[in-house]
Every structure is written in C-alpha cells, then in structure tokens.
C-alpha cells in the first residue's frame, strides 16, 4: 500500500550528534517533520522513521503489534550510533514511550531523552474491555488531530484497530516496569489541555524514572499534538537547547535562507 503524501520517513545527515524522533500511535512522521527539519537546519543528524502499519490505511495496522514498532526504532537507534558519537531519543505520545524504552534498554548508548505528551497507559473502561472487544469489533474512532491551532491537522488514521490497541496496552505496561532503568537527562514537555493523554501519564513517568537531570515544561497553548500546535516553536527551541547543553557545539545556528524549519534534505 503506498505511503500517504506527507507520511514519508525523514532523514538528514548532519553533524556528530544525532536525534531519533518517534511518532505516535496511528500517526505518522508528518506530526514531527517540522521538528525534524528545525534540528536538521542546526546541523543535527536526524532519523524520523515511519512505524510499521502506519502512514497508509488503518487496515495495514491491524496485524501489527508493539514488537514491530519497537523493532523499527531500535534499528534506527543502532544505525545512528554507528555514525554519531552522541545520540538522543525523542517522541510524541506513544513515541515518547518508545523513546523511554530505548533509553532504558540501551543505557549509556543514549545521551538524553525528550518526550512530548508521553503516553503511559490506555485509559478508561474501554482499556479493560480490549482483550475481549478486539475479537468482536475491529476498530473504534480515531484519536488524531487533537490540536488547538486553527487550520493545523495531523495526518493520522480516523479509526483505531483494536488488535493494535490491545498490543499498545501491553507495551505501556512493559515500559512502565522499565522506567526505573531510565537514568539519562530527561526533558518532558506536556500540555495541561490534552484530550488524548491525561496529566497522570507524565506524572507517573516523572515519578518512576531514575534520572536526576529532569526538566518539565508546560505547553499552555497546545493540545496533544503539540508539535503542530501553538507551542511547536518552543518545543523545537527547548530541545535544541537541551541537546546543545549535553553535547556542546553540536547545535549550530542555521545558514541564512534555511528559515525556521530549516533543511530541505530528507524525505
């Protein structure tokens, strides 16, 4: 099935510091592309993969599971380590959970973690019904485009395959158990008004990680997909500052003419 226009993966070969960006459940690289381009314009090497089953149609996601999604970002991280001496992992929503697991499992191979509205649990009564409901009903309504900014839209599925949602629930439980193994510097940015992931998820993550260098930033003007919302520029700037602090000299001002979103290389 062809990838939807705008959902293509993005890669940029920059300097010696690399960032792996992980998109969210039923979403695509489109939601993180402006962030990727911002960092690429500042000479950061960027990898923004398309997760299996995403970016085409929801039917393609139905047979996939968390092992498929994690394996993809794990491969990307190993590839980044081969060409960069400093590597950071970042993600939105489920992508934040993927980034946290990478940090927990790869240890010193990851230099820092950046998460935006990270998800930690499937909430509501529907979560408890998933083991049975997935055999009776194929999908439920989608969760894409929770954005406050008028005219902004996320390229994501309008339906959520329940088999995949059940796997996501299991993944969140697994990651929650591994959070104490996260020791790297952590930058967590969250929206108080998030209609997809409640504040309890970020609080749980902050309470369970073992990181001592922790920064929490509130995104007061944005909803869940904050990387496409009013606070997007702040996310980009704060992440660049975070990387620059931990990898001095790695983040450079963009060349004239590249603009705020920066580089045109990649997907």
Please tell me the predicted confidence (pLDDT) of residue 160.
87
pLDDT digits (tens, 9 = 90+) for 104-121: 999 999 999 999 999 998
Share of the chain above pLDDT 90, in %: 81
Share of the chain above pLDDT 70, in %: 89
pLDDT digits (tens, 9 = 90+) for 215-244: 999 999 999 999 999 999 999 999 999 999
Per the CB < 8 A criterion, the answer to whether 20 and 99 are in contact is: yes
Kindly state whether residue 58 falls inside one of the protein's structural domains: yes
Active site residue 123: no
Determine if residue 1 is labeled as part of a ligand binding site: no
Please tell me the predicted confidence (pLDDT) of residue 196.
92
In this structure, are strands 17-22 and 45-48 parallel, antiparallel, or unpaired?
parallel
Kindly state whether residue 262 falls inside one of the protein's structural domains: no
Please tell me the predicted confidence (pLDDT) of residue 134.
56
Q: Residue 221: which residues within 8 A CB-CB, separation 6 or more?
A: 148, 229, 230, 231
Write out the residue range of the structural domain in which residue 233 sits: 10-246
Per the CB < 8 A criterion, the answer to whether 115 and 209 are in contact is: no
Average pLDDT over residues 96-108: 98
Kindly name the residue from 194, 201, 229, 231 that is annotated as catalytic.
Answer: 194
Kindly name the residue from 12, 54, 224, 230 that is annotated as catalytic.
Answer: 224
The better pLDDT of the pair 177, 126 is held by: 177
Active site residue 93: yes
The residue assigned the tokens 């998109």 is: 23
Kindly state whether residue 4 falls inside one of the protein's structural domains: no
Kindly state whether residue 52 falls inside one of the protein's structural domains: yes
Q: How many domains does the chain have?
A: 1
Active site residue 194: yes
CATH number reported for the structural domain that contains residue 181 in this entry: 3.40.50.1820
Please tell me the predicted confidence (pLDDT) of residue 166.
87
Kindly name the residue from 28, 31, 93, 191 that is annotated as catalytic.
Answer: 93
Considering only 101-105, 141-145, 178-182, 237-241, which range has the smallest mean pLDDT?
A: 141-145
Determine if residue 25 is labeled as part of a ligand binding site: yes
Dist. CA 267–CA 263, nearest whole Å = 11
| Residue 205: count of CB within 10 angstroms of its CB | 27
């Amino acid at each position: 099935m062809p990838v939807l226009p705008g959902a293509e993966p993005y890669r940029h070969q920059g300097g010696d510091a690399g960032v792996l960006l992980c998109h969210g459940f039923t979403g695509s690289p489109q939601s993180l592309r402006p962030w990727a381009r911002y960092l690429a314009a500042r000479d950061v090497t960027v990898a923004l993969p398309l997760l299996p089953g995403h970016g085409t149609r929801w039917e393609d996601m139905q047979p996939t599971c968390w092992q498929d999604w994690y394996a993809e970002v794990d491969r990307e991280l190993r590839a980044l380590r081969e060409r960069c001496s400093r590597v950071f992992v970042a993600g939105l929503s489920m992508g934040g959970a993927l980034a946290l697991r990478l940090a927990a499992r790869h240890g010193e191979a990851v230099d820092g973690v950046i998460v935006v509205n990270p998800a930690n649990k499937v909430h509501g009564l529907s979560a408890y019904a998933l083991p049975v409901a997935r055999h009776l009903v194929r999908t439920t309504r989608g969760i894409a485009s929770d954005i406050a900014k008028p005219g902004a839209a996320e390229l994501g599925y309008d339906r959520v395959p329940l088999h995949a949602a059940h796997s996501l629930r299991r993944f969140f439980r697994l990651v929650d158990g591994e959070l104490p193994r996260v020791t790297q510097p952590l930058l967590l940015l969250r929206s108080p008004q998030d209609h997809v992931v409640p504040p309890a998820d970020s609080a749980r993550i902050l309470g369970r990680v073992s990181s001592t260098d922790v920064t929490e930033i509130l995104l007061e003007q944005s909803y869940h997909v904050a990387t496409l919302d009013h606070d997007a520029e702040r996310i980009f700037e704060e992440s660049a500052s975070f990387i620059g602090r931990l990898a001095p000299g790695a983040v450079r001002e963009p060349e004239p003419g590249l603009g705020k979103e920066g580089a045109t290389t990649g997907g």
